[in-house]
Structure 1
Amino acid sequence: MPDEDGYFGEDIATDYDESSAAMFRPEAVDPVVDVLAGLAGAGPALEFGVGTGRIALPLAARGTPVHGIELSRAMADRLRAKPGGDAVDVTIGDFATTTAPGGPFAVVYLVFNTINNLTTQNAQVDCFRNAAAQLRPGGTLVIEVGVPDLRRLPPGQTAVPFRVDAEGWAFDTYDVATQAMSSHYVTIDDGKAEHWSIPFRYVWPAELDLMARLAGLRLRDRWEGWSRAPFTGESTGHVSVWEKPAA
C-alpha cells in the first residue's frame, strides 16, 4: 500500500536510478533536454513529477532555471543529494493541484509516462488546468507518454509482458472498461520471488487533446519521440506539445 510518498517511497527511491538505468544514459536523456531547452529558452521550466532529477538536473545544467513538483519526499531527497541538486527547487505536493513558486513558466513538462500516475480522468484534467494556470502566454505544456498497447490483447486476456529474464519479469494488466492499468514487477533473488505493482490510468492522444482544450491550450506538435519523427498509427508512444495562446 502507498504511504505519504505515494507508490515511490523510500524502498523504491533507494534504487530507482539503478532500476531505470537505461533511461539515465546520455542517449536517452540528451534528446529530451535538447527539446525542452529549445522550448524553454531562458526559462523558467517546471517539471511535474520531477523524481530524482533525471531530466531536471541536466536541463538546469544547460542554464535553464528549473523547478519541480514531486509527491515523494524520498525521491526529492535523492535529487537534492546529487551534484547540482541545489539548482533545482522542489515543491512537495500533488502535481495535479500544487502551484510552484517562480512562475509563470515558459514550459511545463511531464516525461516517462508520468501523466499516467494520475489514476482518474478528473485528476488528469486537473493536471492540464494546473499546468495552463502556471504557464505564461505563449508557453508550452509537453507530455511524453506511451500509446496503450491494447492491440496485443486477444479476447479474454488482460496482461501484456514487457520484460522476461533470469532476474524476473514484468507485465502490464489492463481494464479496457475503465482505462485502469497496473505495471507488475516480479524480481527473483536467491530463489525467492518478490512482487511489486503500481497503478496507472492509460490515456489516448485524442483524449489528451480534449483535456488540453478544456484548459485553454492548443496542440502545436506531436511526434513519435524526442527525435521529432512523425507520429503514425504504428507509433508506440508520443511527445505532444500544447501551447497557451499569447495574450
Structure 2
Amino acid sequence: MSGDRAEARRGKNVGMRDPGLFESIAASYRAARPDYPSELYDTLVQQGVIGPGRRVLEIGAGTGEATGELVRRGGAVFAVEPGPELAARLRQACPEASVLVSQIEDVDLAAHRFDSVVAATSMHWVDLPTVLPRLGQALEQGGLLAVWRTVFGDPRVQTPFRRAVDEIVAGRDETIPRTDPLEPRPTVAELEAGSRFRLVRTWEWPWQTDLDATQIRALFATFSDWQDQAELDAVQAAAAAQPGPVTEHYVTILHLLRSTTGET
C-alpha cells in the first residue's frame, strides 16, 4: 500500500508494515484508490512478468488493487497479505488467486518456485535485507522482480490544490529530510543492494484524474502519513474551494529487475 507525494518528499523510512494501519480502512480502501494505468500491465505482459503460464508471487496484495488484473492477464498468482480483513476481501474479489495471510518476512519462500515477483505499492513496507535474498532463491533462474508505486502529485505540475496540500504539509512539526518525489522508496539502489537483483529498466507513466472533495478526502485517508483528522478536514476544504472537480496529476513508476541468482 502507499503514502502520497508528501511522504515521498519527506523520505519516510517506514520499515516493516503494520497491518493494522490498513485493516482499519479495509472496507473503503479499494473504492478510494484509483487504478494503475493499463500501460503498466501491458508492459508487464510484454516483459514476461505476467501472462499465461507465469507463476507470480504478489507481495502485499491488499484488497486486490493489482491482483485482479494480474489474474485476468493469465498469471497463476500467489498473493501474500498480512491483514486478515484485507485478505478476506482479496479472496472475495479474486477467487482465482491463492492468498496467504502473513508478513512476507515470515513466509517460507524456499518451499515455492516462481517465475516473477510483483509488488504494487507495497515494497516500501518490506524489510529488504531479509526479503530480497529469499526472493532470489524462490525465483527460477533469471526470474523477474517488478516493483511499482504511484506518486500522488506530480511535482512537475503545480495546481492551486497542490499548493494548498504543500501548505498543509509545511505546517507539520518535522525535521525529516526531503528527497526526490520522483524517486519513491524503495529506490533502485535499495533494490539492487546485495547484488541479488539487477535493474532491467524503469518506466514512468504520467496520468491524471478528476476527483471531487469527498473523493479527495477518502483517497488521502488511505495514505499512511495523512491520519490526522484536522489535516484531512483541511485537504477536503482545499478541494471543495476549487471551481469544479480537482484535476490531479499523478505518476506511476515501475522498476523491473532480474534475479542474479545462478549467474556465473
**TM-score by structure 1 length?**
0.62
- Structure 2 Cα separation of the partners of residues 40 and 144 of structure 1: 14
Match for residue 46 of structure 1 among 42, 57, 67: 57
- Judged with a 3 Å threshold, the aligned counterparts in structure 2 of structure 1 residues 131 and 239 are, in CA distance, closer, same or farther, namely same
Question: What does 1:186-205 correspond to in 2, within 5 Å?
Answer: 202-205=185-188
Kept after mapping to 2: 8 A contact 1:96/1:124: no
Question: What does 1:92-171 correspond to in 2, within 5 Å?
Answer: 92-99=101-108, 103-112=112-121, 114-118=122-126, 123-145=127-149, 171=169
**In structure 2, what is the equivalent of residue 15 of structure 1?**
28
Match for residue 190 of structure 2 among 192, 207, 210: 207
Question: What does 1:218-233 correspond to in 2, within 5 Å?
Answer: 218-225=198-205
Kept after mapping to 2: 8 A contact 1:107/1:141: yes
Give CA-to-partner distance per residue, 1:139-192, whole Å, 9 cap, x none. Answer: 101111368x9x99xxxxxxxx96969xxx98597754698xxxxxxxxxxxxx
Question: What is the CA-CA distance between 1:100 and the residue it aligns to?
Answer: 5.3
- Judged with a 3 Å threshold, the aligned counterparts in structure 2 of structure 1 residues 13 and 206 are, in CA distance, closer, same or farther, namely same
Q: Does 1:244 align with 2:259?
A: yes
**In structure 2, what is the equivalent of residue 35 of structure 1?**
43
Q: Which one-letter code corresponds to 2:28 in the other structure?
A: D
Question: What is the CA-CA distance between 1:52 and the residue it aligns to?
Answer: 0.9
Q: How many residues align?
A: 190
- Judged with a 3 Å threshold, the aligned counterparts in structure 2 of structure 1 residues 100 and 208 are, in CA distance, closer, same or farther, namely closer
Question: What does 1:62-81 correspond to in 2, within 5 Å?
Answer: 62-81=73-92
Kept after mapping to 2: 8 A contact 1:128/1:215: no
Q: Does 1:87 align with 2:70?
A: no
- Structure 1 Cα separation of the partners of residues 206 and 143 of structure 2: 18
Kept after mapping to 1: 8 A contact 2:201/2:256: yes
Question: What is the CA-CA distance between 1:96 and the residue it aligns to?
Answer: 3.2
**TM-score by structure 2 length?**
0.59
Structure 2, unmatched stretches of 5+, are 1-16, 208-249
Q: Which runs of 4+ in 1 moved over 6 A?
A: none
